């Protein structure tokens, strides 16, 4: 039976790629344990790329009224933000980095995540952007309206980050209708597939990793702006 995960050679950051869907609660437990180990100095930092079986997740600002149709389990996460859907066809990136080594700047970290995803989408011909006061990564949908193609949600414990981002490659977009995604009802959700771009998870992962040096450089600053 093939290894469901790929672990590239040792380096300062472990890159882990899961080739089978990982249950959300299982992934959350791994993150919590790894967060503590990174803080204690016993484990390397981690960037983990994976998919989940269908699940709705609730952030610290989530409103139960935004769950319109609880057809999937709703899991409380501890990350910032509101309700998000995860499922097959959506690539999730969990980013566990020690910001104590990178300037303790949480805003810079979040902006870095946004720009990393936006630049990678651009490599596939998708013009995307972040919008102040509106969480997520946005693009122009096939009908000309603005729609979300990616989600951002993070938590920082003892200056070690958790959670990260999710990008819609080819999910079942009807699954998003069970919630108000990120609490924003007036905008839709789109995907690479809906935009006419067929992209295998491995292609996305490779492009993301090629851009990782820019992301890591952008978040490395030794002037703290958001104390723990």
Annotated binding site for substrate: 79-86, 151-153, 164-166
Residue with tokens 């693009």: 139
Q: Which residues are annotated as a binding site?
A: 79-86, 151-153, 164-166
Nearest to 170 by CA among 68, 107, 90, 64: 90
81: left (phi over 0), alpha (psi -120 to 50) or beta: left
Q: In whole angstroms, what is the distance from residue 155 CA to residue 225 CA?
A: 16
Give yes or no: 182 in active site: yes
Q: What would the two tokens of residue 112 be?
A: 């870095």
10 Å CB burial of residue 91 (0-12, 13-18, 19+) is: buried
117: left (phi over 0), alpha (psi -120 to 50) or beta: alpha
Hey, how many other C-beta atoms are within 10 angstroms of the C-beta on 160?
Answer: 23
Please give the DSSP secondary-structure letter assigned to residue 27.
H
Q: What would the two tokens of residue 152 be?
A: 């951002």
Q: In whole angstroms, what is the distance from residue 28 CA to residue 42 CA?
A: 19
Q: In whole angstroms, what is the distance from residue 219 CA to residue 45 CA?
A: 14
Question: Which of the following is catalytic: 62, 121, 182, 189?
Answer: 182
The catalytic residue positions are 182
């Amino acid at each position: 039976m093939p290894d469901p995960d790929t672990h590239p050679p040792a380096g300062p950051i472990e890159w882990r790629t899961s080739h089978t869907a990982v249950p959300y609660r299982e992934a959350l437990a791994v993150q919590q344990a790894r967060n503590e180990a990174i803080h204690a100095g016993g484990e390397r930092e981690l960037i983990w790329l994976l998919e989940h079986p269908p699940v709705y997740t609730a952030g610290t600002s989530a409103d139960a009224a935004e769950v319109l149709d609880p057809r999937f389990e709703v899991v409380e996460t501890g990350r910032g933000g509101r309700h998000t859907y995860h499922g097959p066809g959506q690539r999730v990136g969990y980013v566990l980095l020690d910001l104590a080594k990178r300037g303790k700047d949480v805003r810079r970290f979040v902006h870095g995540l946004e720009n990393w995803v936006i630049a990678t989408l651009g490599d596939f011909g998708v013009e995307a952007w972040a919008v102040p006061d509106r969480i997520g990564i946005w693009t122009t949908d096939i009908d000309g309206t603005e729609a979300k193609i990616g989600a951002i949600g993070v938590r920082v414990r003892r200056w070690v980050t958790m959670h990260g981002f999710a990008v819609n490659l080819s999910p079942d977009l009807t699954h998003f209708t069970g919630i108000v995604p990120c609490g924003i009802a007036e905008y839709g959700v789109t995907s690479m597939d809906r935009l006419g771009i067929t992209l295998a998870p491995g292609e996305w992962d490779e492009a993301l990793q090629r851009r990782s040096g820019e992301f890591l450089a952008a978040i490395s600053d030794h002037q703290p702006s958001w104390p723990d």
